[in-house]
Structure 1
Amino acid sequence: MNHNFSKVEEAFLKETQLQEITTRVPYIASDSFPKLGLLSALSFLEWVSKNPQGVISLPSAKTAQYFQNYTHFLLDNWDNQKGIDIRAKYGLADVAKPDLSGLTFVQMGEFFPIDPKQHNSLYNYAVEHYIKGFGFDAEKALLINSEEIELADGKHYSEVFPDYKIDLSLRYREAKTHQEQLQQRSIFQIDNWCRAYETKIREKGGIGFFMSGIGPDGHIAFNTRGTDHFSGTRLTETNFETQAITAADLGGIEVSRNRLVITIGLGTLKFNPKNKAIIYAAGEAIADVIKNSIECEASICYPATSLQGLENARFYLTEGAAVKLDDAIDCYYKCSPWNHQKTERAVIDLCKKINKFGSKLELADLKADKYCSMIPDLSENTVQSVIDSITAKLQKGMEREKNQTYYHTGPHHDDIMLGIMPATNRQSREASNELHFSVMTSGYNAVTNTFLRDLLLDTLDLLNHGKIEMINFPDFFQDGYKYKWDKDLYHYLDNIAAQDAEEKRRGVCHRTVRALVSIWDLNNEEQLRETIDEILTVLKNSYDGGINPPKIQKLKGMIREFEEELVWAHYGTMVKNVHHLHLGFYSGESNFENDVLPILNDFRKYKPTVISLAMDPQGSGPDTHYKVLQAVSKAVEEWNKEEDLSNLRIVGYRNVWFRYNPWDVEVIVPVSLNSLATLDQSFTECYITQVNASFPSYQLDGKFSDVTRRVWFEQHKQIELLLGKNFFYQNESPLLRATHGMIYHRELTVEQFLAESAKLGKAMENLG
Structure 2
Amino acid sequence: MARLNLLEETRFEKLPVSVFENPKAASLSVAHRIGKLIKEKQKNNAQAVLGLATGATPIAVYAELVRMHKEEGLSFKNVVTFNLDEYYPMQPNAAQSYVTFMNENLFDHIDIDKDNVNIPDGTLSLEEIPAFCLNYEKKIGDLGGLDIQILGIGRTGHIGFNEPGSAPNSGTRLVTLDDLTRRDAARDFGGKSFVPTKAITMGVGTIFKAREIILMAWNKKKAPIIKKTVEGEISSEVPATYLQLSQHVEFILDQDAACLLTRFDTPWLVKDCVWDEKITRKAVIWLSNTLKKPVLKLTEDDYNNHGMAQLAVERGPVYNINIDIFNKLQHTITGWPGGKPNADDSQRPERAEPAKKRSIIFSPHPDDDVISMGGTFIRLADQKQDVHVAYQTSGNTAVWDDDALRFVEFNIDFSEKMGLDTKELKALYQSMRTFMGKKKPNQIDTPEIQTVKGLIRKGEAIAGARYCGLDDDHIHFMALPFYESGKSQKNPVTEADVVLTMELLQKVKPHQVFAAGDFEDPHGTHIVCFNIILEALKRLAKTEDWVKDCWLWMYRGAWQEFETHEIEMAVPLSPQEVERKKMAIFKHQSQKDTAVFPGDDPREFWQRAEDRNRETAQAYDSLGLAEYEAMEAFVRYKF
Q: Is the 8 A contact 2:214 2:252 kept in 1?
A: no
Judged with a 3 Å threshold, the aligned counterparts in structure 2 of structure 1 residues 316 and 556 are, in CA distance, closer, same or farther, namely: farther
Counterpart of 2:23?
A: 33
Instruction: Name the structure, 1 or 2, with higher relative contact order (CA <8 Å, separation 6+).
Output: 1
- Unaligned segments of structure 1, at least 5 residues: 4-16, 79-96, 152-186, 474-523, 729-735, 754-768
2:364 is matched with which residue: 403, 408, 411? 411
Counterpart residue identity of residue 58, structure 1: L
TM-score relative to the length of structure 1: 0.72
SS in 2 for 1:101: coil
Alignment pair present for 1:62 and 2:56: yes
Q: How much does 1:99 deviate?
A: 1.9
Q: How much does 1:306 deviate?
A: 1.4
Alignment pair present for 1:21 and 2:15: no
Judged with a 3 Å threshold, the aligned counterparts in structure 2 of structure 1 residues 437 and 308 are, in CA distance, closer, same or farther, namely: same
2:159 is matched with which residue: 210, 215, 220? 220
Judged with a 3 Å threshold, the aligned counterparts in structure 2 of structure 1 residues 559 and 463 are, in CA distance, closer, same or farther, namely: closer
Alignment pair present for 1:746 and 2:635: yes
In structure 1, how many angstroms separate the alpha carbons of the residues matched to 2:613 and 2:301?
Answer: 32
Alignment pair present for 1:262 and 2:200: yes
Q: Is the 8 A contact 1:346 1:372 kept in 2?
A: no
Q: Deviations over 1:622-666 (max 9, x none)?
A: 653333233212211232213332321110223444442222232
In structure 2, how many angstroms separate the alpha carbons of the residues matched to 1:292 and 1:362?
Answer: 31
Counterpart of 1:305?
A: 241
Q: Give the 5 Å matches for 1:713-724.
A: 713-723=614-624
In structure 2, how many angstroms separate the alpha carbons of the residues matched to 1:681 and 1:194?
Answer: 55
2:299 is matched with which residue: 362, 368, 375? 362
Q: Is the 8 A contact 2:377 2:468 kept in 1?
A: no
Counterpart of 1:497?
A: none
1:667 is matched with which residue: 569, 577, 585? 569
2:613 is matched with which residue: 712, 735, 739? 712
Counterpart residue identity of residue 594, structure 1: A
Alignment pair present for 1:294 and 2:230: yes
More displaced, 421-430 or 541-550?
A: 541-550
Judged with a 3 Å threshold, the aligned counterparts in structure 2 of structure 1 residues 226 and 708 are, in CA distance, closer, same or farther, namely: farther
In structure 2, how many angstroms separate the alpha carbons of the residues matched to 1:459 and 1:423?
Answer: 32
In structure 2, how many angstroms separate the alpha carbons of the residues matched to 1:224 and 1:369?
Answer: 36
In structure 2, how many angstroms separate the alpha carbons of the residues matched to 1:66 and 1:328?
Answer: 25
Counterpart of 1:45?
A: 35
In structure 1, how many angstroms separate the alpha carbons of the residues matched to 2:277 and 2:370?
Answer: 31
1:374 is matched with which residue: 311, 316, 319? 311
Q: How much does 1:288 deviate?
A: 1.9
- Unaligned segments of structure 2, at least 5 residues: 341-354
Counterpart of 2:346?
A: none
In structure 2, how many angstroms separate the alpha carbons of the residues matched to 1:265 and 1:471?
Answer: 66
In structure 2, how many angstroms separate the alpha carbons of the residues matched to 1:237 and 1:662?
Answer: 39
Counterpart residue identity of residue 348, structure 1: I
Q: Is the 8 A contact 1:123 1:145 kept in 2?
A: no
Judged with a 3 Å threshold, the aligned counterparts in structure 2 of structure 1 residues 529 and 343 are, in CA distance, closer, same or farther, namely: same
Q: Is the 8 A contact 2:57 2:217 kept in 1?
A: no
Alignment pair present for 1:233 and 2:185: no
Q: Is the 8 A contact 1:206 1:271 kept in 2?
A: yes
Number of aligned residue pairs: 609
Judged with a 3 Å threshold, the aligned counterparts in structure 2 of structure 1 residues 368 and 615 are, in CA distance, closer, same or farther, namely: same
SS in 2 for 1:308: helix
SS in 2 for 1:436: strand
Q: How much does 1:58 deviate?
A: 3.0
Counterpart residue identity of residue 458, structure 1: R
Q: How much does 1:292 deviate?
A: 0.6
In structure 1, how many angstroms separate the alpha carbons of the residues matched to 2:2 and 2:321?
Answer: 40
Q: Give the 5 Å matches for 1:363-762.
A: 363-371=300-308, 373-375=310-312, 376-379=314-317, 380-395=319-334, 402-430=355-383, 432-447=384-399, 451-452=400-401, 454-459=402-407, 461-462=409-410, 466-468=413-415, 472=419, 525-586=422-483, 587=485, 593-615=495-517, 623-640=524-541, 641-689=543-591, 691-698=593-600, 700-723=601-624, 727-728=626-627, 736=628, 739=629, 741-748=630-637, 752-753=638-639
SS in 2 for 1:407: strand
Q: How much does 1:532 deviate?
A: 2.0
More displaced, 194-203 or 259-268?
A: 194-203
Q: How much does 1:204 deviate?
A: 3.3
SS in 2 for 1:106: strand
Counterpart of 1:113?
A: 89
In structure 1, how many angstroms separate the alpha carbons of the residues matched to 2:114 and 2:294?
Answer: 63
Alignment pair present for 1:280 and 2:224: no
Q: Is the 8 A contact 2:176 2:198 kept in 1?
A: yes
In structure 2, how many angstroms separate the alpha carbons of the residues matched to 1:695 and 1:591?
Answer: 22
Q: Is the 8 A contact 1:440 1:628 kept in 2?
A: yes
SS in 2 for 1:56: strand
TM-score relative to the length of structure 2: 0.86
In structure 1, how many angstroms separate the alpha carbons of the residues matched to 2:7 and 2:447?
Answer: 47
Q: Is the 8 A contact 2:498 2:535 kept in 1?
A: yes
Q: How much does 1:308 deviate?
A: 1.5
Q: How much does 1:554 deviate?
A: 4.3
In structure 2, how many angstroms separate the alpha carbons of the residues matched to 1:202 and 1:554?
Answer: 55
Q: Deviations over 1:674-732 (max 9, x none)?
A: 4555555544551414531342222x2233443344433333333222115xx32xxxx
In structure 1, how many angstroms separate the alpha carbons of the residues matched to 2:585 and 2:166?
Answer: 37
Q: How much does 1:408 deviate?
A: 1.4
In structure 2, how many angstroms separate the alpha carbons of the residues matched to 1:574 and 1:545?
Answer: 37
Q: How much does 1:296 deviate?
A: 1.5
Q: Deviations over 1:44-86 (max 9, x none)?
A: 32343334522223332234443333334444444xxxxxxxx
1:141 is matched with which residue: 117, 133, 157? 117
Q: How much does 1:277 deviate?
A: 2.7
Q: Is the 8 A contact 2:338 2:357 kept in 1?
A: no
In structure 1, how many angstroms separate the alpha carbons of the residues matched to 2:587 and 2:146?
Answer: 50
Q: Is the 8 A contact 2:468 2:584 kept in 1?
A: no
Q: Deviations over 1:537-563 (max 9, x none)?
A: 222222112333455444434433333
Judged with a 3 Å threshold, the aligned counterparts in structure 2 of structure 1 residues 656 and 679 are, in CA distance, closer, same or farther, namely: same
Q: Deviations over 1:89-126 (max 9, x none)?
A: xxxxxxxx532232222232222223332222222112
Judged with a 3 Å threshold, the aligned counterparts in structure 2 of structure 1 residues 324 and 346 are, in CA distance, closer, same or farther, namely: same
